[in-house]
Structure 1
Amino acid sequence: MMFSEVNLDNLSRQQITSFMFDSIGDDGKDGECILVFGAKTIHRVQKAARLYHNKRAPKILVSGSAARWGKEEESEAIWMKNHLLNFGVPEEDILLELEAANTTENVIASLMVLQRSFGLNHINRLLIVSSPYHMKRCHLTLTTYMPDWISYTLCPDDRESGQGDNWWKNDRENARVMKELHSMQKYVQKGILEDLPFQ
């Protein structure tokens, strides 16, 4: 059965956990750049800084506009950059994408930044940072819109709640997972994201 056909309301916790979290994890491989999907959450910034300092990639690309926060607010990318600087990441190693207002735009707008900074033909692997519940959609969006020669190492942030072994124990994280699951299916049904097998 394909994901677009699944009745999400009939899924068990085990089925949801398997689909959303089982294929998500750091495989230990290095890449050319760390791509951080936009949000004003310190967990993602801490994860990206740790990967950088561990020499997993020489650059960090932070993506996200101020669209969700209001015109007078600081963009997600600038917010993350400022925190990365506080974590000791040099400014010259931080790339900015300032236009994206959602996950699809994070990927599409980051393509241009990556092209201008590296040349897409020189990128073999990206390290991807986002919240655990968001990683499945990030990966699906990347495989839908990015060149097919690029591989991904998936590096969810290290928050205590919201991981694959405990997401249902926290009401906020439980709600995020369920909302994400329904959003992903809606985008697949609309053709925004590629469909995928559901097992």
Structure 2
Amino acid sequence: MTDMRQAISEDQWRRAELIWDYHQMGHETAPVDVAIGLGSHDLGVAATAAGLYRTGLFPVLVFTGGNSATTRSRFPRGEAVHFREHALELGVPDDAILVEPEAANTGQNITFSRELLAAHGLTPKTVLLVSKPYMERRSFATARKLWPEVEILCASEPLELDDYLKSIGDEKLVLDMLVGDLQRVIEYPKLGFAIGQDVPEDVRDAYESLVRDGFTSRLIAP
């Protein structure tokens, strides 16, 4: 076990890896009309989106996101603004980037980005969502609910859980986020926020076990 994982048992780590793998859609990247980089605490989203832009997969890149309690100190001018600045540093031209600086949740990321694109005369038929690795499935389910006429692909930084943990530096927080996102995948369809996703029994068991073990700081109220 690495130093970063001293507070996590091997059994807890195995469960976390099940959930980590489930969250990723496994889509193969392909040319699309537009990409949307979903704001978060993770600047790797902007770097991944910039790298995909440079391969020629899409002509327009939207960064969306305002601030949250977890990002305000890191990105004081807003997630999308900082993501744009990072993408510019990585070689994406300014005229290829649109910024949506108000969204406060994933539903707003999708809705506000769609409205921004429409305001620029763009009605894409194919969209690539670029997110944190463990947010792919939730963003996919949300977009399919709110933008059903568009073909959605997902991408994220190609990291294993151990590498992602090293990049964040807080194993408890990472597992809390994995658990919290899975709860949203399960519960949001009941609230009309997303389409349903099949959750394998072993993944659900891993989720329930980690909740019992106290990885609960990112859970929403029932």
Q: TM-score range by the shorter chain?
A: 0.7 to 0.9
- Cα distance in 1 for partners of 2:20, 2:160 equals 16
Q: 1:67 to 1:171 in 2, by over 3 A?
A: closer
Partner of 1:83: 86
- Relative to the length of structure 2, the TM-score reads 0.71
Are 1:93 and 2:96 an aligned pair? Answer: yes
- Cα distance in 2 for partners of 1:139, 1:193 equals 8
- Cα distance in 1 for partners of 2:119, 2:40 equals 23
Partner of 2:33: 32
Partner of 1:4: none
4+ residue stretches of structure 1 with deviation over 4 A?
Answer: none
Partner of 1:50: 51
- Cα distance in 2 for partners of 1:92, 1:30 equals 19
Between 1:36-45 and 1:93-102, the stretch displaced more is 36-45
How many Å apart are 1:194 and its aligned residue? 2.6
Q: 1:17 to 1:67 in 2, by over 3 A?
A: closer
Q: How does 1:125-136 map to 2 (within 5 A)?
A: 125-136=126-137
Partner of 2:180: 179
The structure showing larger relative contact order (alpha-carbon pairs under 8 Å, at least 6 residues apart) is 1
Contact kept? 1:144, 1:194, Cα under 8 Å: yes
Partner of 1:66: 67
| Alignment-mate amino acid for residue 152 of structure 1 | I
| Alignment-mate amino acid for residue 133 of structure 1 | Y
| Alignment-mate amino acid for residue 66 of structure 1 | N
Q: 1:115 to 1:145 in 2, by over 3 A?
A: same
| Alignment-mate amino acid for residue 117 of structure 2 | L
Task: State the SS of the aligned residue for 1:155.
Answer: strand
How many Å apart are 1:42 and its aligned residue? 1.9
Partner of 2:212: none
How many Å apart are 1:140 and its aligned residue? 0.3
Partner residue of 1:102 out of 105, 112, 116: 105
1:126-156 deviation digits (Å, cap 9, x = unpaired): 111001111110000000001x331122111
- Relative to the length of structure 1, the TM-score reads 0.78
Which 5+ residue runs of structure 2 have no aligned equivalent? Answer: 1-13, 165-170, 201-222
How many Å apart are 1:66 and its aligned residue? 2.7
